[in-house]
């Protein structure tokens, strides 16, 4: 039995946990060979082992997507491990919320860096590999499509109070996506985005006391949505509940599949009908 992504090489950032992990597993289930990134090596290796347990192939490239030189290392891992590069999913990120008058420069810049600057750097690093392969294929009379899927949010499509940094970064991703679709169309690369609505992950499922945190580069950052607020939000979702990481991964897969070969520069909201 063959998958729709057999032989394709996929890079997935932030793939050690949550949505990113499910994206990596989904692509691998369709035959892709996946390079797993996560800030922490342990969850990245766990995802890779889960993929290998199914008989698929995976490599690991741990580290922060915001580090100097990371993008080049990420791309090179795909080339060295599997000989190419066909799919890039820019998924890594987190939230660090505050209203505008309380937001520090460091808070603003950290979120812009991880959600917008890092994807830009990864795509820039991938360009020489993609353009060289595209020229070879064109000379051979082949039309081979590659895929970029950038992760946005309904905070980026409609704004969200208390998330000016995150909303700005995710809105910027849509501009980046449209521009890259125009720049890379000549290479037969489809560049699209998925804007997530409410998805149940560790970033939304805070503790009842509101004291849930994650550690990002030695910073303790508060996460989670108040359970009462999450319940109210669910009532506003036409499908009646928040989404699962598996459903989020399914939306990303749509833009990685051959069926999306004539779709580029677009975004889809994966939010059960809910928008801001």
Q: For 183-240, write each residue's pLDDT tens digit.
A: 999 999 999 999 999 999 876 765 445 567 777 877 877 776 767 777 888 899 999 9
Q: How many domains does the structure of the chain reveal?
A: 1
Q: How far apart are CA 85 and CA 42, in angstroms?
A: 24
pLDDT score of 1: 55
CATH code at position 178: 3.40.50.720
Quote the pLDDT of residue 232: 83
Average pLDDT, the chain: 94
- Beta-carbon contacts of residue 88 (< 8 Å; ≥ 6 apart): 10, 11, 122, 123, 126, 147, 148, 149
Q: Does residue 29 register a pLDDT over 70?
A: yes
List the single range of 88-92, 220-224, 267-271 with lowest mean pLDDT: 220-224
Q: Would you tell me how many other CB atoms lie within 10 Å of the CB of residue 173?
A: 24
78 is a domain residue: yes
166 is catalytic: yes
| 219 within a domain of the structure (yes/no) | no
pLDDT in the model for residue 125: 98
- Per-residue pLDDT of 16-28, as tens digits, reads 999 999 999 999 9
Asked whether residue 174 is domain-assigned, the answer is yes
Q: Give the whole-number percent of the chain exceeding pLDDT 90.
A: 86
Q: Is residue 217 part of a domain?
A: no
Res 224: pLDDT = 66
* 239 located within any domain: no
pLDDT of 69 above 70: yes
DSSP state, residue 115: I
Q: What is the pLDDT of residue 207?
A: 47
Q: What is the pLDDT of residues 235-264, one digit of tens each?
A: 999 999 999 999 999 999 999 999 999 999
Task: Note whether residue 55 is domain-resident.
Answer: yes
β-pairing, 267-270 vs 189-196, is parallel
Domain that holds residue 130: 9-197+244-270
**In-domain check, residue 46:** yes
Indicate whether 141 pLDDT > 90: yes
Q: How far apart are CA 232 and CA 171, in angstroms?
A: 25
pLDDT in tens, 109-128: 999 999 999 999 999 999 99
In a domain, 98, yes or no: yes
Annotated catalytic residue within 94, 166, 187, 267: 166
Q: Is the pLDDT of residue 90 over 60?
A: yes
């Amino acid at each position: 039995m063959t998958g729709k992504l057999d032989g394709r090489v996929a890079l997935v950032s932030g793939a050690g946990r949550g949505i990113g992990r499910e994206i990596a597993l989904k692509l691998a289930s369709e035959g892709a060979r996946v390079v797993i990134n996560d800030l922490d090596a342990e969850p990245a290796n766990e995802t890779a082992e889960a993929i290998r347990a199914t008989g698929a192939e995976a490599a690991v490239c741990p580290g922060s997507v915001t580090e100097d030189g990371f993008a080049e290392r990420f791309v090179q891992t795909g080339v060295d491990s599997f000989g190419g590069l066909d799919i890039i999913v820019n998924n890594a990120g987190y939230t660090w919320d505050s209203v505008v008058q309380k937001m520090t420069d460091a808070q603003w810049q950290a979120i812009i860096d991880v959600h917008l600057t890092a994807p830009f750097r990864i795509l820039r690093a991938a360009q020489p590999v993609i353009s060289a392969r595209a020229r070879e294929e064109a000379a051979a009379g082949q039309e081979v499509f590659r895929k970029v899927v950038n992760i946005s949010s309904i905070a980026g499509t409609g704004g969200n109070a208390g998330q000016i940094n995150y909303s700005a970064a995710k809105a910027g991703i849509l501009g980046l996506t449209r521009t890259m679709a125009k720049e890379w169309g000549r290479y037969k690369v489809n560049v699209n985005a998925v804007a997530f609505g409410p998805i149940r992950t560790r970033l939304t499922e805070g503790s009842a006391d509101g004291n849930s945190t994650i550690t990002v580069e030695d910073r303790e950052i508060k996460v989670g949505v108040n359970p009462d607020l999450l319940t109210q939000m669910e009532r506003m979702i036409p499908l009646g509940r928040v989404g699962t990481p598996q459903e989020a991964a399914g939306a990303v897969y749509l833009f990685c599949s051959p069926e999306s070969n004539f779709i580029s520069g677009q975004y889809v909201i994966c939010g059960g009908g809910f928008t801001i």
